[in-house]
């Protein structure tokens, strides 16, 4: 197993396990027993970094994912790092399948969130606590101050920011050192590459979410794939629409060609590409399928040369591709 260090000292498996899709955004939630088994399988095969959030769940059970992660990882607690997030809820009254996000990082809300997360996760500390989305109404310095207090109290050991910009990262880091950011990053979503120099300067890790562009980069989806419009965000994601198929042909053919040449899979090439780029980058793909879970972990054994990565980047820069899902709409807190 290969490991990486995020920030100063958070040691995690080079591929982490994104637990969100078990309860949220990728179809009807799995049965509790099945979800627990899946997470334990991930720990058994060597994942040591698990990603969840207080907001991953459904209208009926909004915190379902943390409950699952807590129950599953109880016997593994000393050998794994658990990351969770605070600071958003979903507007479940909306008819959109991808419910709008309502940010809320008021200090009193964070202090109450952390207690809820600790309880559901069945642990006395959170290894990495992210602000899920920046709250435009609360200065980031105030949030960082709350993080300092939680670290002093031993309730969290590290903190991070999700979908943060350079300005926010710098301001937050000044008040309380940031261990990692967690931003969207894949061959179809490369806009955060501009943060690499800032992260290098400040010694902050990059956790890449949706690293397979929500599955598309596995090249296992086509016109016959259908997604439940009640629960599955992929039903509205631009990259899975019929008209995107043609636009993504070049990208998927390139991945298929390269994976055949190396006797690996397109998903593994996608993950190996980002792992090979930066030593502080950790992708956290999610899957409900144990075989794919192993496939994704094994991507850490696929080594691409600097030249191969550069050529892939050049090809990506030039090729046509469809739009990719960029996140749910953000609403104001009323
Ligand atoms: N910070 C944030 O705002 C944020 C936002 C989104 C996600 N996240 C985190 O990032 C994690 C990963 O992101 P994500 O789940 O959105 O996207 P992803 O990992 O890019 O894609 C997940 C999808 O890809 C499919 N998949 C995974 N591995 C595959 C493989 N080897 N072959 C074929 N299909 C494969 C899965 O389907 P199957 O289950 O059918 O395999 C699932 O539908 C989440 O679990 C969550 O923890 C964070």
Residue 35: CATH number of its domain: 3.20.20.100
Residue 324 placed within a domain: no
Residue nearest to ligand 1 atom 38, measured at CA: 287
Residue nearest to ligand 1 atom 47, measured at CA: 18
- Residue of 47, 212, 240, 300 with the most ligand 1 atoms within 8 Å of its CB, for mutation: 212
What confidence score (pLDDT) does residue 186 get?
A: 98
Q: How far is the CA of 142 from the centre of ligand 1 (A)?
A: 31
Residue 325 placed within a domain: no
What confidence score (pLDDT) does residue 252 get?
A: 97
Residue 167 placed within a domain: yes
Structural domain including 219 reads: 3-318
Residue 131 placed within a domain: yes
Q: 291: Cβ–Cβ under 8 A, 6 or more apart, which residues?
A: none
- As for how many domains the chain has, the answer is 1
Residue 329 placed within a domain: no
pLDDT string in tens for the chain (334-residue length):
899 999 999 999 999 999 999 999 999 999 999 999 999 999 999 999 999 999 999 889 999 999 999 999 999 999 999 999 999 999 888 889 999 999 999 999 999 999 999 999 999 999 999 999 999 999 999 999 999 999 999 999 999 999 999 999 999 999 999 999 999 999 999 999 999 999 999 999 999 999 999 999 999 998 889 999 988 999 999 999 999 989 999 999 999 999 999 999 999 999 999 999 999 999 999 999 999 999 999 999 999 999 999 999 999 999 999 999 999 999 988 7
Residue nearest to ligand 1 atom 15, measured at CA: 286
Tell me the sheet residues that pair with 208. Answer: 183, 283
What confidence score (pLDDT) does residue 59 get?
A: 86
Query: Model's pTM, two decimal places?
Result: 0.98
- Residue of 69, 239, 287 with the most ligand 1 atoms within 8 Å of its CB, for mutation: 287
56 is catalytic: yes
Catalytic pick among 26, 47, 56, 129? 56
What confidence score (pLDDT) does residue 332 get?
A: 86
Residue 126 placed within a domain: yes
What confidence score (pLDDT) does residue 122 get?
A: 98
Residue 53 CA, closest ligand 1 atom number: 47
Euclidean distance between the first and final Cα of the chain, in Å?
A: 47
3-state helix, strand, coil in the chain (%, to 5): 45, 15, 40
Residues with CB under 6 A from ligand 1: 18-21, 26, 51, 132, 162-163, 182, 209-215, 218, 220, 267, 284-289, 292, 295-296
What confidence score (pLDDT) does residue 102 get?
A: 94
């Amino acid at each position: 197993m290969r490991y990486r260090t995020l920030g100063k000292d958070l040691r995690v498996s080079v591929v982490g396990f994104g637990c969100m899709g078990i309860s949220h955004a990728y179809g009807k939630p799995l049965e509790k027993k099945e979800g627990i088994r899946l997470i334990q399988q991930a720990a058994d095969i060597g994942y040591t970094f698990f990603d969840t959030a207080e907001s991953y769940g459904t209208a009926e059970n909004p915190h379902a994912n943390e409950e699952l992660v807590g129950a599953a990882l109880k016997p593994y607690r000393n050998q794994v790092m658990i990351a969770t997030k605070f600071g958003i809820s979903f507007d479940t009254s909306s008819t959109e399948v991808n419910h709008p996000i309502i940010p809320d990082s008021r200090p009193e809300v964070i202090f109450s969130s952390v207690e809820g997360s600790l309880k559901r996760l069945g642990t006395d500390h959170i290894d990495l606590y992210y602000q899920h989305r920046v709250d435009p109404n609360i200065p980031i310095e105030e949030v960082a101050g709350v993080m300092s207090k939680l670290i002093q109290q031993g309730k969290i050991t590290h903190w991070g920011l999700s979908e943060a910009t350079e300005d926010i990262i710098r301001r937050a880091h000044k008040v309380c050192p940031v261990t990692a950011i967690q931003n969207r990053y894949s061959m179809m979503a490369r806009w955060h590459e501009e943060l690499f120099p800032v992260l290098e300067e400040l010694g902050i890790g990059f956790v890449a979410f949706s690293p397979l562009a929500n599955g598309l980069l596995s090249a296992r989806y086509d016109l016959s794939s259908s997604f439940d419009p009640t629960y599955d965000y992929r039903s509205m994601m631009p990259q899975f629409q019929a008209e995107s198929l043609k636009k993504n042909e070049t990208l998927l053919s390139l991945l298929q060609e390269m994976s055949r040449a190396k006797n690996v899979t397109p998903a593994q090439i996608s993950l190996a590409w980002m792992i090979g780029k930066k030593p502080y980058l950790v992708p956290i793909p999610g899957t409900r399928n144990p075989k794919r879970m192993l496939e994704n972990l094994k991507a850490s054994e696929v080594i691409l040369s600097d030249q191969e990565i550069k050529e892939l980047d050049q090809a990506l820069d030039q090729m046509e591709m469809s739009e990719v899902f960029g996140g749910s709409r953000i609403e104001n807190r009323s």
